[in-house]
Chain A
Amino acid sequence: QVQLQESGPGLVKPSETLSLTCTVSGGSISSYSWSWIRQPPGKGLEWIGYMYHSKIINYNPSLKSRVTISVDMSRNQFSLKVSSVTAADTALYYCARGGYNNNWFDPWGQGTLVTVSS
């Protein structure tokens, strides 16, 4: 059974870079697509971006200039970086496995709250 776990700092200062890692267990990251999704407190879900086979990577156009997704196949992990963060980037960040066409997300990690504040 595939499980995902997000990790990273819970507090980031404005203008700095948010960095998170998703560790995948129970399955190989070389199969399926893998996404980052976030949810500001009390608000809806926002898709951030995905990777597939560590080669195909795409991002939400509204975040594309500030977001980087990378993969460490040896550790079965993939990572998210969001640069120049503001309070608007405060959210619960989830990683999730996706379908081969990134057409569904299952399972999800438990999520990690990142707060942007000085």
Chain B
Amino acid sequence: QSALTQPASVSGSPGQSITISCTGTSSDVGGYNYVSWYQQHPGKAPKLMIYDVSNRPSGVSNRFSGSKSGNTASLTISGLQTEDEADYYCSSYTSSSTDVFGTGTKVTVL
């Protein structure tokens, strides 16, 4: 299975909104509403930010939102803050009953 495709880097100024894309195929992203997103700060374990495309776990800021269109899922961070600077990964369930992660995106707050 191939990794989902994410942009290597995305940047924005404080207060702005940014969107990270996650492109797969009809056998993963496009075939199921089982896309999740993770935030990883340096030296830390990943943290779940969005699950099932657009659901936020308890405690996650509502500045984070998720969506999906066809084979591409997206994570939007609105009102960008300095603490949002981190690596972000998407993940999807697949038709083989496995999971696959995205290539990862480094978010920089300018």
Contact A47 B45, beta carbon cutoff 8 Å: no
B64 within 8 Å of A (CB atoms) = no
B48 contacts which chain A residues (CB < 8 A)? 104-107
The reply to whether B1 and A62 contact each other, CB–CB distance below 8 Å, is yes
Check B57–A101 contact: CB distance below 8 A. no
Q: Which chain B positions have C-beta within 8 A of A107?
A: 45, 48
- Residues of chain A within 8 A of B45, CB atoms compared: 94, 107-111
- Decide if B93 touches A103 in the complex (CB within 8 Å): yes
Q: How many interface residues does A have (CB within 8 Å)?
A: 25
A-side interface residues toward B, CB under 8 Å?
35, 37, 44-47, 50, 58-62, 94, 99, 101-111
B46 contact from A45, A58, A61, A103, Cβ within 8 A: A45
Question: Which B36-66 residues have a C-beta within 8 angstroms of A?
Answer: 36, 38, 45-48, 51-52, 57
Nearest-neighbor residue (CB-CB) of B99 within chain A: A47
A105 & B96 in contact (Cβ 8 Å cutoff): no
- List 13 A-B pairs, Cβ < 8 Å: A44-B101, A44-B102, A44-B104, A45-B91, A47-B99, A58-B96, A58-B97, A103-B51, A103-B52, A103-B93, A105-B48, A106-B47, A106-B51
Nearest Cβ on chain A to B18's Cβ, whole angstroms: 19
Measured in the bound complex, the distance between the Cα atoms of B96 and A109 in whole Å is 26
- Complex Cα distance, B99 from A101, in Å, reads 10
- A98–B45 CA distance with the chains assembled, in angstroms: 15
Give the CA-CA distance A99 to B1 in the complex, in Å.
21
Q: How far is the CB of B58 from chain A (nearest CB, A)?
A: 11
Hey, which chain A residues are within 8 Å of B99, CB to CB? 35, 47, 50, 102
